[in-house]
Amino acid sequence: MIPLFTKEEYEFILESNKIEAEPGVDFDHLHSFMDMKWKASESKTGNVNQGMILEWHRKLMKNKLRRMFGEYRKCAVQVGGKLMPNPVAVPHLMDEWIESFNKMDKTPWEYHKAFENIHPFVDGNGRTGRLLWAFDLLRRGKEVYPILNDFHNPDLVAHKDERWEDARQRYYQSL
Protein backbone atom coordinates (compact mmCIF):
# COMPACT_ATOMS: atom_id res chain seq x y z
CA MET A 1 0.00 0.00 0.00
CA ILE A 2 1.36 3.43 -0.96
CA PRO A 3 1.00 6.03 1.83
CA LEU A 4 -0.94 9.19 1.03
CA PHE A 5 1.63 11.28 2.89
CA THR A 6 5.25 10.95 3.83
CA LYS A 7 6.09 11.32 7.50
CA GLU A 8 7.48 14.80 6.77
CA GLU A 9 4.34 15.84 4.86
CA TYR A 10 2.16 14.69 7.75
CA GLU A 11 4.37 16.67 10.17
CA PHE A 12 4.06 19.68 7.82
CA ILE A 13 0.26 19.49 8.05
CA LEU A 14 0.32 19.06 11.83
CA GLU A 15 2.69 22.00 12.19
CA SER A 16 0.61 24.20 9.89
CA ASN A 17 -2.42 23.56 12.10
CA LYS A 18 -0.37 24.14 15.24
CA ILE A 19 0.85 27.51 13.88
CA GLU A 20 -2.82 28.45 13.69
CA ALA A 21 -3.27 27.28 17.31
CA GLU A 22 -5.32 24.28 16.13
CA PRO A 23 -3.65 21.15 17.46
CA GLY A 24 -4.08 17.90 15.59
CA VAL A 25 -5.17 17.29 12.04
CA ASP A 26 -8.39 18.44 10.46
CA PHE A 27 -9.96 16.71 7.48
CA ASP A 28 -10.15 19.92 5.43
CA HIS A 29 -6.40 20.41 5.65
CA LEU A 30 -5.69 16.77 4.75
CA HIS A 31 -8.12 16.95 1.81
CA SER A 32 -6.57 20.19 0.54
CA PHE A 33 -3.05 18.79 0.87
CA MET A 34 -4.01 15.63 -1.07
CA ASP A 35 -5.57 17.77 -3.82
CA MET A 36 -2.48 20.01 -3.96
CA LYS A 37 -0.14 16.99 -4.05
CA TRP A 38 -2.14 15.39 -6.86
CA LYS A 39 -2.10 18.64 -8.88
CA ALA A 40 1.64 19.00 -8.32
CA SER A 41 2.23 15.45 -9.59
CA GLU A 42 -0.08 15.90 -12.59
CA SER A 43 1.17 19.35 -13.58
CA LYS A 44 3.40 19.41 -16.61
CA THR A 45 4.39 23.05 -16.04
CA GLY A 46 4.34 23.35 -12.24
CA ASN A 47 2.18 26.43 -12.64
CA VAL A 48 -0.70 27.58 -10.48
CA ASN A 49 -3.62 29.75 -11.44
CA GLN A 50 -6.19 31.81 -9.59
CA GLY A 51 -8.76 29.02 -9.76
CA MET A 52 -6.44 26.55 -8.02
CA ILE A 53 -5.61 28.98 -5.21
CA LEU A 54 -9.26 29.90 -4.64
CA GLU A 55 -10.26 26.21 -4.67
CA TRP A 56 -7.59 25.29 -2.11
CA HIS A 57 -8.71 28.18 0.10
CA ARG A 58 -12.33 27.07 -0.23
CA LYS A 59 -11.45 23.50 0.76
CA LEU A 60 -9.32 24.67 3.68
CA MET A 61 -11.81 27.18 5.08
CA LYS A 62 -15.32 25.98 4.17
CA ASN A 63 -15.92 24.69 7.71
CA LYS A 64 -14.13 27.57 9.42
CA LEU A 65 -15.68 30.65 7.81
CA ARG A 66 -19.36 31.46 7.41
CA ARG A 67 -18.72 33.30 4.17
CA MET A 68 -15.94 34.54 1.90
CA PHE A 69 -14.19 31.18 1.61
CA GLY A 70 -12.73 30.59 -1.82
CA GLU A 71 -12.81 34.26 -2.76
CA TYR A 72 -10.54 37.24 -2.33
CA ARG A 73 -11.35 39.61 0.50
CA LYS A 74 -13.48 42.67 -0.11
CA CYS A 75 -12.62 44.45 3.13
CA ALA A 76 -9.59 45.96 4.81
CA VAL A 77 -7.60 43.76 7.20
CA GLN A 78 -4.80 44.37 9.64
CA VAL A 79 -2.21 41.83 10.71
CA GLY A 80 -0.16 42.60 13.78
CA GLY A 81 -1.16 46.27 13.51
CA LYS A 82 -0.04 46.43 9.86
CA LEU A 83 -2.70 47.38 7.32
CA MET A 84 -2.65 44.95 4.42
CA PRO A 85 -3.06 46.11 0.79
CA ASN A 86 -6.35 47.69 -0.24
CA PRO A 87 -8.86 44.95 -1.15
CA VAL A 88 -9.43 46.60 -4.55
CA ALA A 89 -5.75 45.93 -5.35
CA VAL A 90 -5.80 42.27 -4.25
CA PRO A 91 -6.84 40.68 -7.59
CA HIS A 92 -4.12 42.60 -9.46
CA LEU A 93 -1.51 41.84 -6.78
CA MET A 94 -2.44 38.16 -6.93
CA ASP A 95 -2.17 38.16 -10.75
CA GLU A 96 1.36 39.56 -10.37
CA TRP A 97 2.19 37.07 -7.63
CA ILE A 98 0.93 34.13 -9.73
CA GLU A 99 2.92 35.32 -12.76
CA SER A 100 6.10 35.52 -10.66
CA PHE A 101 5.38 32.21 -8.88
CA ASN A 102 5.02 30.46 -12.24
CA LYS A 103 8.45 31.76 -13.31
CA MET A 104 10.04 30.10 -10.26
CA ASP A 105 12.61 32.89 -9.98
CA LYS A 106 12.44 33.16 -6.16
CA THR A 107 12.75 30.74 -3.28
CA PRO A 108 9.69 29.07 -1.75
CA TRP A 109 10.24 31.19 1.39
CA GLU A 110 10.28 34.44 -0.68
CA TYR A 111 7.03 33.45 -2.40
CA HIS A 112 5.47 32.57 0.94
CA LYS A 113 6.40 35.94 2.45
CA ALA A 114 5.11 37.81 -0.61
CA PHE A 115 1.79 35.89 -0.48
CA GLU A 116 1.35 36.61 3.23
CA ASN A 117 2.05 40.30 2.63
CA ILE A 118 -0.71 40.49 0.03
CA HIS A 119 -3.01 38.69 2.49
CA PRO A 120 -5.66 38.02 -0.17
CA PHE A 121 -8.24 36.42 2.12
CA VAL A 122 -10.17 37.49 5.20
CA ASP A 123 -8.84 34.41 7.00
CA GLY A 124 -6.88 31.31 6.01
CA ASN A 125 -3.95 33.14 4.44
CA GLY A 126 -1.39 31.24 6.49
CA ARG A 127 -2.88 27.84 5.72
CA THR A 128 -3.24 28.66 2.01
CA GLY A 129 0.23 30.20 1.85
CA ARG A 130 1.81 27.15 3.46
CA LEU A 131 -0.07 24.89 1.04
CA LEU A 132 1.41 26.93 -1.82
CA TRP A 133 4.83 26.61 -0.16
CA ALA A 134 4.44 22.81 -0.21
CA PHE A 135 3.31 22.93 -3.86
CA ASP A 136 6.40 24.99 -4.70
CA LEU A 137 8.69 22.47 -3.02
CA LEU A 138 7.05 19.52 -4.79
CA ARG A 139 7.19 21.14 -8.23
CA ARG A 140 10.92 21.74 -7.69
CA GLY A 141 11.35 18.05 -6.93
CA LYS A 142 12.02 18.66 -3.23
CA GLU A 143 10.50 17.03 -0.19
CA VAL A 144 7.94 18.82 1.93
CA TYR A 145 9.24 19.31 5.46
CA PRO A 146 8.00 20.97 8.65
CA ILE A 147 8.12 24.73 8.22
CA LEU A 148 9.98 25.61 11.38
CA ASN A 149 12.76 23.13 10.66
CA ASP A 150 15.93 25.17 11.13
CA PHE A 151 17.98 22.97 8.82
CA HIS A 152 15.79 23.84 5.82
CA ASN A 153 14.88 27.40 6.77
CA PRO A 154 17.83 29.38 8.18
CA ASP A 155 15.71 32.56 8.37
CA LEU A 156 13.78 31.02 11.25
CA VAL A 157 16.72 29.61 13.26
CA ALA A 158 14.65 27.39 15.53
CA HIS A 159 17.11 25.91 18.04
CA LYS A 160 16.23 22.44 19.27
CA ASP A 161 16.17 23.47 22.92
CA GLU A 162 13.82 26.42 22.41
CA ARG A 163 10.14 26.24 23.07
CA TRP A 164 8.06 25.70 19.93
CA GLU A 165 6.08 28.87 20.60
CA ASP A 166 9.27 30.96 20.32
CA ALA A 167 9.90 29.51 16.84
CA ARG A 168 6.26 30.18 15.91
CA GLN A 169 6.61 33.82 16.96
CA ARG A 170 9.80 34.21 14.92
CA TYR A 171 7.96 32.76 11.92
CA TYR A 172 5.30 35.46 12.22
CA GLN A 173 7.88 38.20 12.84
CA SER A 174 9.90 37.17 9.79
CA LEU A 175 6.92 37.63 7.49
- Residues labelled catalytic: 119
Distance CA 151, CA 51 (A): 33
| Closest C-alpha among 10, 12, 2, 7 to residue 133 | 12
**Residue 131 DSSP one-character state:** H
Pairing of β 78-79 and β 82-83 = antiparallel
Distance CA 38, CA 57 (A): 16
Distance CA 113, CA 74 (A): 21
- Which uninterrupted H or E stretch holds 144? none
- C-alpha distance from residue 123 to each of 45, 66, 72 (Å): 29, 11, 10
